[in-house]
Structures are given as C-alpha cells and as structure tokens.
Amino acid sequence: MAHQVAVIGMGRFGTTLAREMYDIGHDVLIIDRDERLAQSMVGHVTYVVTGDATATELLEEVGIGNFDTAVVAIGTDVQSSILATVLLKKQFKLDHVIARATSEIHGTTLTAVGADRVVFPEQETGIRTAHSLFQRDVLEYMALTGDFGFSKVNVSPDMEGKTLEQAGFSTGRDRYGVAVIAIKRGRDPILNPAKDEVLQVGDMLVVGSKEGALDQGQAK
C-alpha cells in the first residue's frame, strides 16, 4: 500500500530516506530551504518544494495535513527541528511524525513536544528507517541484495498464541518472498522454526523478505 510521506531536510539522512521511500513505491514530498539541495531531488521523489518548513503558510500550501507521515530530518538547526515537529503534531495533527535527533537532550525534547519516534542517524541509517516506517513492529532492516533483506519483527498481541502459519508467516520462502528465518525467545534462538511453532509473548522474529512484502501485509 502506497503512503504519502513528507521528508523535511535534505541532509545525508533525509536524502537517503526520501529516495528509498520513493523507490519502495510511496508518494514522497521533500522540503528544504536550500534550493540547490531541493532541486537535486527532482526525479528521485514525487514532489519537490523549496522553502521553510517552520512556516505555517508553506505547510498549509503543500497540504501537509493530508500526509500519512512526516519525517523531520533537519540536522544542525535544532530550533527548526523542534518547531517543525511541534507544528506537524500540534497544529496539523499528523498521526505519525518521526524526528531526527543529534543528541540525547535533543531527542528527549523532540519526544516531549510530540514526536512519535526519534531517530539517531549515527545508530540508524535512512534505508533502515525507510523500511520500518509503516511497520510499527519492525525494529530493524538490513538489505542483503537490491530487492531482498532481513527484518527484526516484534510479535504483536494479535499474533500471540497463534502458530506461525496462523499468523500468516511462511517458514519457507513463499510466493510473496517472505520467510521466518528464526525466532528469538529468551537467550536461545529457534532456527528454521516449524510452521506449527506457537508464538509467545516477547518473541522476536527474524524475517527474510522481498522489497515491500512486509509493508503489503504478508506478515501481520
């Protein structure tokens, strides 16, 4: 399912995330004050806007309230990062706002003003963020090839007590390209789990999948 995503700030993290989200198949709007940086994204995203994302008028003009998710990827300008996050959550009431933090105190402040998720680029790349953006239970993504990678997925409450098969997973790579490689339960992993393995509270799955397969709902 395609989502509408706004990415604010075209530094290394924002650029990588925006391009990856567009390549996955989402509609991506980017905003940056620097015209050169903004124009460099033409052809790599859906919409390109040059301007100040802390200006209410600009956000209204681009219809930011219609977007599913916004990523505040502003790096060095901490004040603009916080203000943009406040506007997106409090004034435009976006359901899902991810914000980049450059320090622990920056991250704490972003959380306090309403950010749903705070990302530290030193710990998480733009590509990993892109692949976990709409899968709230996906903890991490690692690309193996151009269209296949591995994800760590928390077992959600609606999966608990079900077998892998009942939860919609395959233990061998199925026609959608999704397969459970292992279950992390306590200290010891269960490798190549059987399809009748019952999922428990606290389990974490290591899943191999084709590009976008988890996002399409093959693993719920």
Residue 64 sits in a domain of what CATH number?
Answer: 3.40.50.720
Structural domain of 18: 4-132
pLDDT at 214: 47
Picking from 87, 117, 132, the residue at the C-terminal end of a domain is 132
Q: Are residues 100 and 164 in the same domain?
A: no
User: Is 54 inside any structural domain?
Assistant: yes
Contact (CB, 8 A) for 199 and 157: no
CATH number of 188's domain: 3.30.70.1450
For residue 106, the SS3 value is helix
Query: Can you tell me the mean pLDDT for 69-86?
Result: 93
Q: Is residue 219 part of a domain?
A: no
Residue 156 lies in a domain: yes
Are 166 and 205 in the same domain? yes
| Average pLDDT of the chain, as a whole number | 81
- Cβ contacts of residue 36 below 8 Å, gap of 6+? none
What is the number of domains present in the chain?
A: 2
Please list the residues that pair with 179 across neighbouring strands. Answer: 208
- The verdict on residue 218 lying in a domain is no
What does each C-alpha distance from 59 to 53, 55, 81 come to in angstroms?
A: 6, 7, 14
Q: Is the dihedral of CA 45, 46, 52, 56 positive or negative?
A: negative
Helix (H), strand (E), coil (C) string for 125-167: CHHHHHHHCCCCCEEEEEEEECCEEEEEEECCCCCCCCECCCC
Are 93 and 37 members of one domain? Answer: yes
What secondary structure does DSSP assign to 14-43, as a single string? HHHHHHHHHHHT-EEEEEES-HHHHHTTBT
Q: What is the pLDDT of residues 142-187, one digit of tens each?
A: 554 555 566 777 788 888 898 988 887 755 544 445 678 788 887 7
Nearest alpha-carbon partner for 201 in 166, 156, 164, 170: 156
